[in-house]
Amino acid sequence: MESYDGAETCELGLFSLSQLKEIDANVGLYRDDGLAACRPTLRQADNTKKRICEVFQNYSLKIPIEANKEIFNFLDVTLDLRYDSHKPYKKLNDNVSYIHKLMQQPYSCCN
């Protein structure tokens, strides 16, 4: 029987967050997406980026990091730090499918 490794993934996420405690930024993870917010200078942002990469490289993990962005997409929201605003975000080829709440089919057939 197959099962998801949700508990192990959750533990890995919590462990990663605990390793990033000493970095001066607000860090959040959701599944395979992460976001860190801080207001450093360009040099401080580059140093923070290097320290985050070092933490993950210690465990043979690689993560892409984009620094010094004012507008970015995170999950299903576009965040704009310049104007302190947000709006919904949808990928170009993403098809939205709605499922009736009383539908009796298993979740796996509805994806």
**Dihedral (CA of 16, 20, 57, 45) sign:** positive
Per residue in 11-25, pLDDT (tens digit) is 877 787 788 777 777
Per residue in 59-75, pLDDT (tens digit) is 888 888 888 888 988 88
Dig out the tokens for 102 from the structure. 């009383």
Domain boundaries defined on the chain: 6-99+104-110
Any idea of the CA torsion for 97, 101, 106, 107, to the nearest 10 degrees?
50
Contact between 100 and 93 under an 8 Å Cβ cutoff? The reply is no
The reported pLDDT for the residue numbered 80 is: 92
The reported pLDDT for the residue numbered 2 is: 57
Task: Report the percentage of the chain scoring pLDDT > 70.
Answer: 87
User: Is the confidence at residue 1, as pLDDT, over 50?
Assistant: no
User: Is the confidence at residue 56, as pLDDT, over 50?
Assistant: yes
